[in-house]
Amino acid sequence: MKEKDITDQIQSMQPWFHNIHLPSGVQTAPDHFLGDFPSFKWQALKDHIPADLNGWKVLDIGCNAGFYSIELAKRGADVLGIDLDPHYLRQAEWVAEQFRLPNKIRFKQMQVYDLVNLNEDFDLIWFMGVFYHLRYPLLAMDILSRKVKEMLVFQTLSMPGEKQEHVPDDVSLEKREVFLKDEWPKMAFIEKKYAGDPTNWWAPNPSAMEAIIRSCGMEVVSAPLDETLICKPVSRDHWNESEYLSAIGMDWKKEAEMKVKK
């Protein structure tokens, strides 16, 4: 395809939030207000991801125009990219064609909560730029922790604060002032808009980011980039199983009875 034809197609699919460097050398959003986004984030993360992803199943949540899906597929992964917005999915499918990777990447219009009905697990889940847009963020994290086998890359908008080095196992009823400490795990709730966006709901502090990961049966392996954690699953023994099952629309009473019979 000629460069002018590619440029014309890019223009016809405006606006772009991912600036993707296509094989032809043309970029989808060279004047992006954030710079070369999200390439600069990938540059900081890429060495923390296995270079050989052959045989890995990857889930890219909020895939947008498919930048990360493309990079992970280049390493051999079989990728499922999901997004709520059909405009971004059209862009992503077109981009995958430009890289000759349509057989390595599937795209579906889904919300993160829909994953409970997807009978698939994933070696790597890419979860960047979505958490703070969710009305029910911990439910999403519980769902993902049941879907991930090896690695979760987690990024969120965050509020300022110091990371807490030690989280106490218990706090007595009369010691609630501990919650006021800057380093205590907490999230700011955004009632109206943040940065002009009414879908920005939450901003956890650094302590809360890690506490949420732990509470969902995972642990933090590294923090290679600001507001970004690389995690792995470790345990689910402490979950409130009945609450989770009820939240995803399952009959928790029936499940409990079946466990007793076993």
pLDDT over threshold 60, residue 260? no
- What was the pLDDT predicted at 15? 96
pLDDT single digits (tens) 96-138: 999 999 899 999 999 999 999 999 999 999 999 999 999 999 9
182 HSE (CA, 13 A, CB side): 5
pLDDT at residue 164, rounded to an integer: 77
Is the CB of residue 153 less than 8 Å from the CB of residue 128?
A: yes
Instruction: Give pLDDT tens digits for 35-50.
Output: 999 999 999 999 999 9
Q: CA 88, 212, 246, 242 torsion: positive or negative?
A: positive
Report how far residue 19's alpha carbon sits from residue 221's, in angstroms, rounded to the nearest whole number: 29
Question: Alpha carbon of 118 to those of 23, 83, 115, 122, 143: distances in Å?
Answer: 33, 15, 5, 11, 11
Q: What is the mean pLDDT of residues 152-170?
A: 89
Name the pTM for this structure: 0.93
Tell me the per-residue pLDDT of 176-235, one tens digit each, with 9 for 90 and over: 998 988 899 999 999 999 999 999 999 999 999 999 999 999 999 999 999 999 999 998
